[in-house]
Structure 1
Amino acid sequence: MKFIPLYDKIVAIKIENENKIGEIYIPTNENNIIKGKVVEIGIGNILENGKISPLIVKVDDNILFKDGYNVEKYKVGNIEYYFVKEKDIISIIK
């Protein structure tokens, strides 16, 4: 299944529950921070003048985001897809 997200939406899948990135430990508590991989991105944000500003995140980027009320989920088989707006991403992991 292929998703085509609109505008500033990003489709990500959850990466293992590994709680360490390099030397940094990611809390696995009530904060619900998820490490994910971007699988699809929208075209960008629409500015007031009608032009489109491209997104910063790219396909295959690893990201951190908080599983909260702005995150939509859709499960296909064993894969859970997360639909997140770029502004709700905490960090890109390099």
Structure 2
Amino acid sequence: MKFYPLYDKIVVTKIEEDNKIGSIFVPNNDNNIIKGKVLKIGCGKLLDSGIIKPLIVKINDIILFKDNYNIEKYKENNIEYFFLKESEIITIIN
């Protein structure tokens, strides 16, 4: 499926992390922070002045964001897509 996010919307997929180190099980974090990969980005944030400010995040960036009730989700073919705004991203990981 192709997505074309508008303005400051970003399409992200969750990066599944292995929660085992050797044979030791490591529990998931309790604060709902998700590691994801940016698939698509919109053209930028529309300011009150009518100017479009480009986004900082780029396609293929690895990010952390918090999964909460504001985040819109869509699931297709066992892939969960998250639609969020750049302001909802906690950090970009290098």
* Separation (CA, whole Å) in 1 of partners of 2:14 and 2:74: 12
Equivalenced residue count is: 87
Q: Percent identity?
A: 67
* Separation (CA, whole Å) in 2 of partners of 1:92 and 1:18: 20
Q: For structure 2, which runs of at least 5 residues remain unmatched after alignment?
A: 20-26
Q: Could you tell me how far 1:18 is from its partner in structure 2?
A: 4.3
Q: How high is the TM-score relative to the length of structure 2?
A: 0.86
* Residue 61 of structure 1: aligned partner: 61
Q: Could you tell me how far 1:29 is from its partner in structure 2?
A: 2.7
Q: Could you tell me how far 1:69 is from its partner in structure 2?
A: 1.6
| Bigger radius of gyration | 2
Q: How high is the TM-score relative to the length of structure 1?
A: 0.86
What amino acid does structure 2 have at the position aligned with 1:14? K
What does 1:71-86 correspond to in 2, within 5 Å? 71-86=71-86
What does 1:15-54 correspond to in 2, within 5 Å? 15-18=15-18, 28-54=28-54
* Separation (CA, whole Å) in 2 of partners of 1:69 and 1:89: 14
For each residue in 1:42-88, what CA deviation from the matched residue of structure 2 results, as whole angstroms up to 9, or x when unmatched? 11111121010000000000000000022111001111000011000
Q: Is the 8 A contact 1:70 1:88 kept in 2?
A: no
Q: Is the 8 A contact 1:8 1:41 kept in 2?
A: yes
* Separation (CA, whole Å) in 2 of partners of 1:65 and 1:89: 5
Runs of 4+ in 1 over 3 A off after TM superposition: none
Q: For structure 1, which runs of at least 5 residues remain unmatched after alignment?
A: 20-26
What amino acid does structure 2 have at the position aligned with 1:51? I
